[in-house]
């Protein structure tokens, strides 16, 4: 039987939760440079070609794969982009998303709904 003092002395430590986007290092966004633009097909029940980039973070020089949201983009090699952490369910190994309408990546043209996700200003 454990005594009260033993219980206080050897109290259980909480496990630290691992981050889903460790390369951002507690930051919500990070600047990166696009090193390659490619397409990946999603896992089993879905079928399409998803736009994806391989990027190099400017601050800590680590490589990652990020999804480009929306239709059509103007990204090329050496483009500057902003990246946020977010898991993409149907793409294996992709846990980052590029923010549209920031730096070299333009917003989606003629977008009317969900504009904030795709970097489009309100037409007045």
Give the per-residue pLDDT at 23.
93
- For 26-65, b/e burial (b = at least 16 CB within 10 A) is eeeebebbbeebeebebeeeeeeebbbbebebeeeeeebb
Measure the CA–CA gap between 123 and 121, rounded to whole angstroms: 6
Instruction: Judge whether residue 12 has pLDDT over 80.
Output: no
Average pLDDT, the chain: 91
Instruction: Judge whether residue 2 has pLDDT over 90.
Output: no
Give the per-residue pLDDT at 4.
86
Domain boundaries, the chain: 22-117
CATH architecture of 22-117: Beta Barrel (2.40)
Give the per-residue pLDDT at 78.
95
Q: Helix/strand/coil (H, E, C) string of 48-105?
A: CCEEEEEEEECCCCCEEEEECCCCCCCCCCCCEEEEEECCCCCCCCCCEEECCCECCE
Query: Mean of the pLDDT values across residues 44-73?
Result: 94
Give the per-residue pLDDT at 10.
74
Query: Mean of the pLDDT values across residues 90-97?
Result: 94
Instruction: Judge whether residue 124 has pLDDT over 60.
Output: no
Confidence of residue 51 (pLDDT cuts 50, 70, 90): very high
Are the C-beta atoms of 81 and 75 separated by less than 8 Å?
A: yes
Model confidence over 16-33: pLDDT tens digits?
888 889 999 889 999 999
Measure the CA–CA gap between 35 and 79, rounded to whole angstroms: 8
Report which of 20, 22, 32 is spatially closest to residue 89, judged by C-alpha positions.
20
Q: Is the dihedral of CA 95, 35, 37, 75 positive or negative?
A: positive
């Amino acid at each position: 039987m454990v005594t009260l003092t033993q219980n206080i002395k050897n109290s259980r430590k909480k496990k630290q939760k691992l981050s889903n986007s460790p390369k951002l290092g507690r930051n919500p966004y990070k600047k990166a440079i696009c090193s390659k633009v490619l397409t990946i097909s999603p896992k089993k029940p879905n079928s399409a070609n998803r736009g994806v980039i391989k990027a190099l973070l400017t601050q800590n020089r680590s490589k990652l794969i990020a999804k480009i949201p929306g239709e059509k983009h103007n990204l090329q090699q050496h483009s500057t982009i902003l990246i946020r952490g977010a898991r993409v369910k149907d793409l294996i190994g992709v846990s980052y998303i590029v923010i549209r309408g920031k730096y070299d990546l333009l917003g989606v043209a003629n977008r009317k709904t969900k504009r904030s996700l795709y970097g489009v200003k309100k037409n007045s």
